[in-house]
Amino acid sequence: MTAVKLDELENAAILVDDGEGSAKALVARDTGMIHLLNDEYMDEEAPLPGQIEAGGNYVPVPAASELGLGRALMQRFGAGHLAGDQQRLQEIFARQDPYDRFSRLLEERGLLDAWYGFREKETRVALEAWCRQHGLIFQ
């Protein structure tokens, strides 16, 4: 099985999520290299559109939100660690970009380190499962 770098895969999933449809990332099955494709940037070694076929050498990287990361991950952490702050969490998650407000709440409650550990563990689990599903391993 081909190895993929975990931090690069995580960054690619975030890029796809942040790109809102205009960014794509592909993992080459034979090398594990991640190719970034978006309207503003395309890496020099990226495959050309004609080289990308379903089930071929390239696997599209899903958006972080499709893996249960991002907002969904924050909500899971909030449900488990901020039971007394449900009203405030609802207000935070009603906003377009809740991350800064969520981070401030965690800082107020002394939960930033717990959040970072939770996020790291859950991200690793989600990406490892995705890699296994596509015949890849991560390093």
pLDDT tens, 106-132? 999 999 999 999 999 999 999 999 999
Judged by DSSP in three states, 35 sits in strand
This prediction's pTM: 0.79
Predicted pLDDT at 41? 57
Identify the band that residue 35 occupies on the pLDDT scale cut at 50, 70 and 90.
Answer: confident
Nearest alpha carbon to residue 59 among 33, 27, 15: 27
Q: Backbone phi, then psi, for 33, in 5-degree steps?
A: -70, 140
Instruction: Return d(Cα 25, Cα 138) in angstroms, integer.
Output: 16
Give per-residue pLDDT as tens, 52-100: 655 578 889 999 889 998 888 999 999 999 999 999 999 999 988 898 9
Q: From residue 16, give the alpha-carbon distance in Å to each of 22, 105, 114.
A: 8, 27, 26
What Rg, from alpha-carbon coordinates, does the chain have? 17
